[in-house]
Structure 1
């Protein structure tokens, strides 16, 4: 089976889905693209852009990994993560907050990082990466902002460009790139890309997921003997979320089996 055949099978996984899909894969054997520049609701995939800005500020000596900060009560929200459930008197390092934001998708940690880093700075850095269709417009779980038409948006091609910053040095130092990859490899949400890979090798997948009602995303870097495979599968407007998870899981199995 050649890469063109695999590309067709991967795209077919999404053809029956309702709503909007934005897909992009850059692999050693070629690329797969479908509505790659179409922005969709970002869910937690926007946290990739926040992490890159945090690491950039650390590289620029504006922040330090071990700087300790407390959580502003206004940033404590529900949803994914554990910070909101723990003592309000704890201090957290910048390193802690980034890891919580990525590994457990902690929304409270994310909101605190947005305050520390600055929304304008995060958006500026995403644009410097070439992610012109993406924008951070609100904090996590801000339903009032969503009702007012302010939602965080990303496209598949933009998300690929953000992940590519962790593979090809441009905005970040090599040590920050390696640190970010290591954090992404500790991802605890495994119900999409790796869900149907029973023999997934350790330390080969570095990814970030995102989900909201009607939204299922997975974006990451798969390490292979042929080189990195950067994939972005974004699905929005789903009637049932399980269909999006299924499409991404089937695509993940196809890509993994082709390159294993």
Structure 2
């Protein structure tokens, strides 16, 4: 059974993890759903949700442009800080940060839409999500970017099920991967949508995919302690179990 299998995998790999598996709107499994983790690049989806809310009142906002300057460039993941092109639209940056991790792109969006405005909106709409600092920069007050499995599950459900051009853009970005990730490792011939959230302290992945009857949402947050092989096997074992249930139509507790 799905529930027993996931519990066994968590115990086998001795991983500090939060897991939610949902079939449609029915929670099939959850473990430590309210535990707070560093958000990593999952914060990109939270920022995108805030911008979608602004876009509803001002659709032209996606065409506004920002410039990459020397002050914008930070270390870590990303590509636009090293490209010759310096001007990027909000739409381009939302797509880019949903599809991959790009610290410069994320920070441009944070600077444009204001870190405090985004954080306050998240507190009201997605309790458990917190935008406390820009990426690769420290907060003077010691605040961090945080998430819980419950808040991320609510976020990915909204982005995947809301029918408008903005969320369609995000879904297109989330599906734009050619190499299976660990949580989608066994998802052969199934269109998956996923986002990684990894840094020196955390290994996260959220994914969604459609079955004939309903979508499946999987959120896995975990602490990272330098065990690369074990961490990858943990996610891949979850993938094997979840997709085996999907392919045999055995989504059950």
- TM-score w.r.t. structure 1 length? 0.85
Alignment of structure 1 residues 162-241 onto 2, 5 Å:
162-169=155-162, 174-187=164-177, 190-197=180-187, 199-201=188-190, 204-241=191-228
TM-superposition CA deviations, 1:14-34 (whole Å, max 9, x none): 224456311111114642110
Match of 1:84 among 81, 89, 93: 81
Whether 2:136 is the aligned partner of 1:132: answer no
CA shift in 2, pair 1:109/1:189, >3 Å: farther
**Residue pair 2:10, 2:17 contacting (<8 A) in 1 also:** yes
CA shift in 2, pair 1:225/1:259, >3 Å: same
CA shift in 2, pair 1:38/1:174, >3 Å: same
CA shift in 2, pair 1:122/1:243, >3 Å: farther
Whether 2:105 is the aligned partner of 1:115: answer no
CA shift in 2, pair 1:149/1:241, >3 Å: farther
- Give secondary structure in 2 for the equivalent of 1:64: helix
Could you say which residue in structure 2 is the equivalent of 1:75? Answer: 72
State how far apart, in whole Å, the 2-side matches of 1:35 and 1:192 are: 21
State how far apart, in whole Å, the 2-side matches of 1:145 and 1:17 are: 33
Whether 2:130 is the aligned partner of 1:141: answer no
Match of 1:95 among 86, 91, 114: 91
TM-superposition CA deviations, 1:104-132 (whole Å, max 9, x none): 21111000011111212322332343x21
Unaligned runs of 5+ in 1: none
State how far apart, in whole Å, the 2-side matches of 1:11 and 1:57 are: 40
TM-superposition CA deviations, 1:58-115 (whole Å, max 9, x none): 222075322222124322112222111112x521111111122121211110000111
- Give secondary structure in 2 for the equivalent of 1:84: helix
Could you say which residue in structure 1 is the equivalent of 2:250? Answer: none
CA shift in 2, pair 1:244/1:63, >3 Å: farther
Unaligned runs of 5+ in 2: 248-253
Match of 1:104 among 100, 105, 109: 100
Could you say which residue in structure 2 is the equivalent of 1:10? Answer: 6
- Give secondary structure in 2 for the equivalent of 1:232: strand
CA shift in 2, pair 1:55/1:188, >3 Å: farther
Whether 2:44 is the aligned partner of 1:55: answer no
Q: Count the aligned residue pairs.
A: 246
State how far apart, in whole Å, the 1-side matches of 2:157 and 2:89 are: 26
